[in-house]
Amino acid sequence: MKNKIENICCIGAGYVGGPTMAVIADNCKHLKINVVDMNKERIDLWNSSNLNELPIYEPGLDKIIERCRGKNLFFSNEVEKNIEIADMVFISVNTPTKKKGLGAGKASDLKWVEACARQVAKYARGYTIVVEKSTLPVKTAEVIKNILEAAELESKEKDIKFDVLSNPEFLAEGTAIKDLEAPDRVLIGGENQNAILSLSNIYSFWVEENKILHTNIWSSELAKLTANAFLAQRISSINSIGALCEATGADVREVARAIGTDSRIGSKFLDSGPGFGGSCFKKDILNLVYLSNYFGLPEVADFWEGIVKLNNWHQHRISKLIVKKLFGTVSGKKICILGFAFKANTNDTRESAAINICNDLIEEGAVLFIHDPKVDPKQIEKDLDRKENIQLKGYKDSNFYEFEGNWCSINELNSASEGSDAIVVLTEWKEYSSLDWVEISKKMRKPAWVFDVRSIIPSKKITNLNLNFWQIGNGSDY
């Protein structure tokens, strides 16, 4: 079997496929990389001459695309042709939670992965290494292998042969390029040492050898789910303690600092916020829950399910708290929401805490003015399942505007804060930490509230401005 890799095909041009292949292309100029996707609109955006139109926003990504696109990195819808010429195929498609059938609500839906495996089985020629880049349940490689082996047996005359590797991705959105360029580790699980070496050789162009870990294929698949479960667990842990801080007069930042200096605990991932979002934490933990139950370990399943339950509870706790502080009703009240992405530096809103919190407030009758520097209002419309629909009905008195509708998007906060009863910070965009509170406070309707759910507003900027200030996990001020 030849080990020389020249042509790579990546199926899936999403938040993982796009940046990952861009960084490989940037570091391995000898490779020709074709990123393919069935979504035409997405591919058109990847090929847009205006780099501000790339389908995903990631700091530093545009520069790499500019350097590599059209040279050794190509985006297209030509799935079949590019599988055919590839020596290595990455499967980087979505693996959402199943909506119906066996395991609905918990198990991963492998329909897109299976479709890819079938496409590879049909179009590959000669020897091809198939790499699972998507996050998959343990033993998925077996499913892929079965499909590929069936194809090997079927068409002896084509002389096709496959090896399957697991190479899960650990990048976080917003820091994807940094994470890919300087990863803590690269994990490769597999059986065939030559195939493992072929993939290791690619990473070794920019990753130190001691950071490229080799494991068996099942350990690799389980390690990915476990990493996300441990990270999410820290967030639910600190958010649960934040609620206790609010009730007892402690401050969650002080508690986090105190425990984070213990080198066994470490200081990262201890920021209390509106609850974890993103496309993966919830889905991957629920997948772990499903697997644990499937393998007859209900206590293990319950343990991990608690992390997701706490997160759901926490998000609704925030919306209830806002209503309570605003005298028990937000009906007809104007509330400015700062940030809709699930974290800063991304335009991704999947599972964003803002969706639950905004929907709760809308259900309570609030009128939301939503700002996010990178999220397209059309995406917010989809997430809230409501069109932008706010209209000014009139003025009740000099500073009470009457609105009809549920929400609208705003470009900036200063003028939009006119007549608002509350401002709620839900995403930690840097620009929100340096707002002009003196000007904003003049425009708000009193008594007015600022809810800093990300802990990014220095409290001294709010004092003496006739504003009520609430900060997540801070019980010491009340």
280 flagged as catalytic: yes
Taking the complex as a whole, the smallest distance from the CB of residue 10 to ligand NAD amounts, in Å, to 10
CA 333 – CA 443 distance, rounded (Å): 14
Residue selected from 213, 231, 244, 321 as contacting ligand UGA according to rule CB under 6 A:
231
Distance of CA 426 to the CA centre of its chain: 15
- Location of structure tokens 């700002």: 371
Half-sphere exposure of 286 (CA within 13 A, CB side): 20
- 171 is a site residue for ligand UGA (CB under 6 A): yes
> Which residue in 28, 68, 280, 336 is the catalytic one?
280
CB-based closest residue to ligand NAD: 14
**DSSP states of 89-154 as a string?**
EEE----PBP-SSTTTTTSB--HHHHHHHHHHHHH--SEEEEEE-S---TTHHHHHHHHHHHHHHH
**Residue 116 interacting partner from ligand NAD, ligand UGA, none (CB closer than 5 to 8 Å by kind):** ligand NAD
**Residue 228 interacting partner from ligand UGA, ligand NAD, none (CB closer than 5 to 8 Å by kind):** ligand UGA
**Residue 342 interacting partner from ligand NAD, ligand UGA, none (CB closer than 5 to 8 Å by kind):** ligand UGA
- 173 is a site residue for ligand UGA (CB under 6 A): yes
Q: Nearest Cα to 184, choosing from 196, 192, 193, 175?
A: 175
Residue selected from 92, 228, 379, 406 as contacting ligand UGA according to rule CB under 6 A:
228
Binding residues for ligand UGA, how many (CB under 6 A)? 20
Q: Nearest Cα to 366, choosing from 402, 401, 330?
A: 330
Binding residues for ligand NAD, how many (CB under 6 A)? 27
Distance of CA 392 to the CA centre of its chain: 35
**Nearer Cβ to ligand NAD, position 340 or 470?**
340
The interface with ligand UGA within residues 336-355 (CB under 6 A) comprises 342-343
- Phi, psi for residue 49 in degrees, rounded to 5: -75, -20
Taking the complex as a whole, the smallest distance from the CB of residue 86 to ligand NAD amounts, in Å, to 13
CA 379 – CA 349 distance, rounded (Å): 8
**Nearer Cβ to ligand NAD, position 224 or 317?**
224
Interface with ligand NAD (CB under 6 A): 11-17, 36-39, 42, 79, 92-95, 112, 115-116, 134-135, 169, 171, 173, 279-280
Catalytic residues: 280
